Amino acid sequence: MNLLVRRSPIGLDVGSRSIKAAQVTQEGGTRVTALSLVPRARPGRDMDREEVAGLRQVLRRQGFVGRNVVLAVPGERLLRGVLELPAGLTGTSVAQVARMELARQHRVDPHSFEMVCWGLPEGKTQTVAVGCPHAAAHALLDLFDGTGLNVQALDVAAAAAARACLDVCVPAPGITAILDLGWGSTRLLLVCGPTILYERFFEG
């Protein structure tokens, strides 16, 4: 057995009642090496540094390796938009115009957030954009600072789910539905290969 197999950072998705944690290896294909659903110490309340520090001990006991984590930004802190951009834009122009349009929709400073965007499949004119406000990012990073867990990156939960399911999705141009069942809500994703086409939340 190879004891030096490289594991991914630990993926964390903090919900109001539980924390989802996953870690994989990618030697010979993606394989889940650790998976857990950790109950929140104080359900319904914001996470604090004490809870983060305790989480590290829980993860170690449950077989997770290392201190590096990738943290999903809570959905309510993200800026989202499906944008109609002018035809003919290419390269950095797409991102620049998408940033301005997303800022206009949410009435925020266009320099106050980091953003990713992607176009929908050929034949569609829309661009999907997701932004993370700097204030939200700094709050999350400060929360984990000095707790023994090192945040390597912030991620979007929907994008992480799409990547995790890529090996079992039908090849493009086929469309795959991904259903994420939460405590108080359900998320439906429609993906074409690695591209998220549609996301909807159902409460209750």
Residue 41 banded pLDDT, cuts 50, 70, 90: confident
**If you average pLDDT over residues 7-29, what whole number do you get?**
88
Task: Find the radius of gyration of the CA atoms of the chain.
Answer: 18
Judge contact between 176 and 166, C-beta under 8 A: no
| Per-residue pLDDT at 168 | 86
Residue 1 banded pLDDT, cuts 50, 70, 90: very low
| Per-residue pLDDT at 5 | 64
| Per-residue pLDDT at 167 | 83
On the question of pLDDT at 49 being above 50, the answer is yes
86-137 residue pLDDT tens: 877 777 888 999 999 999 999 999 999 999 998 877 656 788 999 999 999 9
Nearest-angstrom CA–CA distance, 154 and 72: 6
**If you average pLDDT over residues 136-160, what whole number do you get?**
93
50-61 residue pLDDT tens: 999 899 999 999
Average pLDDT, the chain: 88
**If you average pLDDT over residues 71-76, what whole number do you get?**
92
HEC profile of the chain: CCCCCCCCCEEEEECCCEEEEEEEECCCCCEEEEEEEEECCCCCCCCCHHHHHHHHHHHHHCCCCCCEEEEECCHHHCEEEEEECCCCCCCHHHHHHHHHHHHHHHCCCCCCEEEEEEECCCCCCEEEEEEEEHHHHHHHHHHHCCCCCEEEEEECHHHHHHHHCHHHCCCCCCCEEEEEECCCEEEEEEEECCEEEEEEEEEC
CA distances from 69 to 73, 93, 116, 149, 154 (A): 12, 32, 20, 7, 9
Nearest-angstrom CA–CA distance, 48 and 11: 18
Q: What percent of the chain has pLDDT over 70?
A: 94
| Per-residue pLDDT at 204 | 63
Cα–Cα nearest to 190, from 128, 105, 101: 128
| Per-residue pLDDT at 122 | 63
Buried b (16+ CB within 10 A) or exposed e, 130-145: bbbbeebbeebeebbe
